[in-house]
Amino acid sequence: MNDFNQLPAHVWPRSATRLDDGTVSIGGVALTELAQEFGTPLYVFDEDDFRARCREMADAFGGPAHVHYASKAFITKRVVQWVDEEGLCLDVASLNEAKVALAAGFPASRMTAHGNNKEPEYLQLCVDEGIAHVVLDNTDELKQLNELAKASGRVQPVMIRVKPGIDAHTHEFVATSHEDQKFGISLATGAAFDAAKEALATTNLELVGLHCHVGSSVFVAEGFELAAERVLSLYKRIHTELGVSLAELDLGGGFGIPYMPYEEALDVATLAADLLAAVDRTAEELGIPAPFVLVEPGRSLVGGSAVTLYRVGTVKDVETGKRELPIRRYLSVDGGMSDNIRPALYGSEYDARVVNRFTAGEPTDSRVVGFHCESGDILINERKLPGDIRPGDLLAFATTGAYQYMMASRYNGALRPAVVSVRDGQASLMLRRETIEDLLALET
Amino acid sequence: MNDFNQLPAHVWPRSATRLDDGTVSIGGVALTELAQEFGTPLYVFDEDDFRARCREMADAFGGPAHVHYASKAFITKRVVQWVDEEGLCLDVASLNEAKVALAAGFPASRMTAHGNNKEPEYLQLCVDEGIAHVVLDNTDELKQLNELAKASGRVQPVMIRVKPGIDAHTHEFVATSHEDQKFGISLATGAAFDAAKEALATTNLELVGLHCHVGSSVFVAEGFELAAERVLSLYKRIHTELGVSLAELDLGGGFGIPYMPYEEALDVATLAADLLAAVDRTAEELGIPAPFVLVEPGRSLVGGSAVTLYRVGTVKDVETGKRELPIRRYLSVDGGMSDNIRPALYGSEYDARVVNRFTAGEPTDSRVVGFHCESGDILINERKLPGDIRPGDLLAFATTGAYQYMMASRYNGALRPAVVSVRDGQASLMLRRETIEDLLALET
């Protein structure tokens, strides 16, 4: 048995197991059975894996009230209900994400509303439903929301999104200005202070804290710590000049996850401890009360909880005409850039395994492509994969829970795959597969 | 009046006109009225523009039977009907594209079926419906289709997709091997000849010709000519060794269009004349009958026929911290990467104009962003745009007919925009806007 039969534990859902017959099960359900019952491509979510990640994140940060699940990573009514049952809060980034969450019965009192371009209907819904926090992105919105709240006779709690001037992308962080982006109000220029002052002077907004975001796929606390130090310096100024102690500090999302076996797992406990210690220490040094810290993970809660199942169609050995790689094997699957745009969009890599049997194939230079009529429709660009993969095999891609289904398209008439959740040996359809009727339903 | 009020004719739909009151009309309908009636974001297709491009392409290539509209660029029942009425043929690249075309009443006898990973149901539909050509991508498929045709008692006309070993992307062409891609069977290795021989030996396939494709966004004939020469050398070998003269030659798609004013228009007439002359000349030199030439334009027929209308939400001046560009204006619109992934995916650029009034603004360093909760949600990265754009303005993007709606997602709960067609002062809804109910309809 070679390495190709392993399921690296930090990349695959926690319940993923290769059984004695070589098939793989998740949540106690064989993936071959899921493919049989629900068809392919298919997203499979491990419910216990997701819930466990929610609990670990909550424990690390001092309780579920500190953790806001970022629904943009993956939102369905069922996932929203899981988040609710785990006691976490919920971030939404648009009117429709808010509507899905409310339709699932999630309490508005534990929701935060984001967006750089919130339409009036979205702001009005926040006021009407009593969304816990609206994160203001600019001062026009501040004025607009105050007027809406006033007209409704409500006081709307808000945070202000500030730019801490930090970019902490992917394993490194560069403590330089990252002001040139659409979100938030600059801390460095003093605009954020002015906005806080303006919010505090309104009749119908209650400023509860500031929000910042340092990047995506961050594995270490330094970027968050530096952001916290900068934002807390503004808390100090607000404390001193305006006599107000802001109660909450939202440090945003962006925790990374390993997609490939060679990447390390996120150490949530260490990251949280470092970050919380830095906030306490900084607040003490500044002589202000330490705020209640919020974080907004999405990818790190849900990304690793799901896999995508594809059926292999054609297998083709191509003479490349390249001396360094004379033959490349092309494996075509029944999905592609319609259900996973991330390889094309970001060059993202995924771990893929044969899950319907043991493989004994020799490492073979391979490329995994989709069915789309586009040469850039590539899911795995260059990888040694087992040489015995054949048409009909089931290929599963790990860590496909975040930013895949949400970004799915109907390119080339692709229908959105079904989504199932699994737990305790039971599979349950979460989102049904689209049909040609869905596709034609928009025609007039 | 400055340049910002112009609508460069080679980039904008042919009927686009700026009226005396500063608003822009297409197909005789004011875009302000369309935005009012159908909301934004909104795709607007100029029917006459599309039909004119179809006719010009047909005229250039010797008649509509030579031209296959590549439906992957943009397919709806209405567009399929326009293609039918113009007498063109239709390419589909998947089972569902075929189903949409058939649902629109397009005759299977003028359809060609593509795909690198055709599922059995797709091949069966081709046989059952009598699709004019199935373009075979590999020999497994060849065997499979022959069996299906035999079981149905039919003879299925086929072409074989060959790799001519040419990559003719974007204004340049590199006459080197481009074998390392998923589509087709290599000409250089002799595999294409073997496949042709195999097809000719089957009981239920009729080999009518070979198919090749040289790239995307090609403006000049050289790449096509070289491909034609190489493929015709295989026609010659088949003629000589197998005693068969293949009647048709499909040179694929890939004609470019200008997206930006500084790009030149595609000279269809010259390209076609050069290409057809090259085919005739080569066939004569080889001493074989000149085949009937097919081409498969998609983008060049539909890309320039449509615009996307957005409403400007927030306008924000950002101090970038960059010496070379201290201030950048961020204009947020009510769409973004959900309805146009091409800037994020390919770095594509688009011409955008204010269409609800004259603008007299000074050129201002601007970035146009969407509403999505992602910093990469950028529609125009860096451009001088009029400095008087304000919230509520209507911004139209030109050349959005191809590969936009087809690749649209529901990211951040975005609903697919409505699509209207306009002609002779009348607007007609082609695809209705998605609703939150559509989004929730997949929940179980």
> Do the Cβ atoms of B411 and A407 come within 8 Å?
yes
Report angle CA B52, B55, B60 to the nearest 5 degrees: 125
Q: How confident is the model at residue B175 (pLDDT cuts 50, 70, 90)?
A: very low
The answer to whether A183 and A163 have CB atoms below 8 angstroms apart is: yes
- Is the pLDDT reported for residue B171 higher than 50? no
A11 contact B CB<8A: no
Q: Give the chain A residue nearest B78 (alpha carbons).
A: A443
CA distance B433 to A334: 28
- Quickly tell me which residue has 């809060």 as its tokens: A89
Q: In chain B, which segments carry CATH 3.20.20.10?
A: 47-302
- Is the pLDDT reported for residue B179 higher than 70? yes
Average pLDDT value for residue range A182-206: 96
- Is the pLDDT reported for residue A1 higher than 70? no
CA–CA min distance A174, chain B (Å): 14
Question: What pLDDT is attached to residue A167?
Answer: 63
Q: In chain A, which segments carry CATH 3.20.20.10?
A: 47-303
- Read off the amino acid at residue A56: E
Question: What pLDDT is attached to residue A180?
Answer: 87
Which one of B37, B80, B117, B338 would you mutate to disrupt binding with A, by most A Cβ within 10 Å of its Cβ? B117
Average pLDDT value for residue range B52-72: 98
- Is the pLDDT reported for residue B94 higher than 60? yes
Question: What pLDDT is attached to residue A168?
Answer: 59
Average pLDDT value for residue range B311-315: 97
Six token digits for residue B60: 């250039």
Average pLDDT value for residue range A402-408: 98
The answer to whether B232 and B286 have CB atoms below 8 angstroms apart is: yes
As to burial, measured by CB atoms within 10 angstroms (0-12 exposed, 13-18 middle, 19+ buried), residue B49 is: buried
* DSSP code for B238: I
Q: Give the chain A residue nearest B378 (alpha carbons).
A: A182
- Is the pLDDT reported for residue B345 higher than 50? yes
Q: How confident is the model at residue B180 (pLDDT cuts 50, 70, 90)?
A: confident
Question: What pLDDT is attached to residue A2?
Answer: 56
Question: What pLDDT is attached to residue A176?
Answer: 40
Question: What pLDDT is attached to residue B169?
Answer: 53
Select the residue of B96, B118, B179 nearest A439 (Cβ to Cβ). B96
Give the CATH fold of the B3-46+304-440 domain. Answer: Lyase, Ornithine Decarboxylase; Chain A, domain 1 (2.40.37)
For the annotated binding site of A for substrate, the residues are 299, 342, 346, 374, 403
> Do the Cβ atoms of A117 and B370 come within 8 Å?
yes
- Is the pLDDT reported for residue B145 higher than 60? yes
CA–CA min distance A189, chain B (Å): 8
> Do the Cβ atoms of B96 and A182 come within 8 Å?
no
Q: Tell me which of A110-124, B221-235, B430-444 is least confident.
A: B221-235
- Is the pLDDT reported for residue A441 higher than 50? yes
> Do the Cβ atoms of B94 and A345 come within 8 Å?
no
Phi, psi of B381 (to 5 degrees): -75, -45
Select the residue of A118, A181, A432 nearest B442 (Cβ to Cβ). A432
Question: What pLDDT is attached to residue B2?
Answer: 56
HSE (side-chain half, CA atoms, 13 Å) at A179: 22
Six token digits for residue A96: 């429709």
For the annotated binding site of A, the residues are 254, 296-299, 342, 346, 374, 403
CA–CA min distance B237, chain A (Å): 21
Six token digits for residue A337: 């850039």
**Residue A126, CA distances (Å) to A65, A286, B273, B281 in order:** 19, 34, 61, 70
Chain A hits for B321, Cβ within 8 Å: 165, 176-177, 179-180, 188
CA distance A301 to B233: 57
CATH architecture of A3-45+306-440: Beta Barrel (2.40)
- Is the pLDDT reported for residue B174 higher than 80? no
Helix (H) and strand (E) counts in chain B: 12, 21
Coil, strand or helix at B327: strand
- Read off the amino acid at residue B206: E
CA distance B171 to B153: 46
Active site residues of A: 373
Helix axis angle, A222-242 to A268-286, nearest 10°: 30
> Do the Cβ atoms of B439 and A372 come within 8 Å?
no
Q: How confident is the model at residue A365 (pLDDT cuts 50, 70, 90)?
A: very high
**Percent residues over pLDDT 90 in chain A:** 89
Q: How confident is the model at residue B177 (pLDDT cuts 50, 70, 90)?
A: very low
CA distance B130 to B110: 9
Question: What pLDDT is attached to residue B166?
Answer: 72
As to burial, measured by CB atoms within 10 angstroms (0-12 exposed, 13-18 middle, 19+ buried), residue B97 is: buried
- Is the pLDDT reported for residue B25 higher than 90? yes
Taking all residues of chain B, what is their mean pLDDT, rounded to a whole number? 95
A431 contact B CB<8A: yes
Closest CA to A26 of A36, A39, A12, A40: A12
Report angle CA B368, B420, B344 to the nearest 5 degrees: 30
> Do the Cβ atoms of B431 and A411 come within 8 Å?
no
Q: Chain A neighbours among B 289-318 (CB < 8 Å)?
A: 313-314, 316, 318
- Is the pLDDT reported for residue A175 higher than 60? no
pLDDT tens digits along A409-421 = 999 999 999 999 9
Q: Which residue has the higher pLDDT, A429 or B218?
A: A429
> Do the Cβ atoms of A93 and B373 come within 8 Å?
yes
Q: Chain B neighbours among A 365-384 (CB < 8 Å)?
A: 367, 369-375, 377
Q: In chain A, which segments carry CATH 2.40.37.10?
A: 3-45+306-440
CA distance A67 to A61: 7
Question: What pLDDT is attached to residue A165?
Answer: 81
Query: Under CATH, which number does the domain A47-303 receive?
Result: 3.20.20.10
Question: What pLDDT is attached to residue A170?
Answer: 41
Q: Which residue has the higher pLDDT, A218 or A200?
A: A200
Chain B hits for A414, Cβ within 8 Å: 94, 96
The answer to whether A396 and A308 have CB atoms below 8 angstroms apart is: yes
As to burial, measured by CB atoms within 10 angstroms (0-12 exposed, 13-18 middle, 19+ buried), residue A144 is: middle
Helix (H) and strand (E) counts in chain A: 12, 21
Neighbouring CB atoms inside 10 A of B2's CB total: 12
Q: Chain B neighbours among A 121-180 (CB < 8 Å)?
A: 137-138, 140-141, 165, 176-177, 179-180
pLDDT tens digits along A148-162 = 999 999 999 999 999
CA distance A79 to A73: 11
CA distance A210 to A196: 9
Six token digits for residue B11: 């980039």
- Is the pLDDT reported for residue A166 higher than 80? no
CATH superfamily of this structure's domain B47-302: Alanine racemase (3.20.20.10)
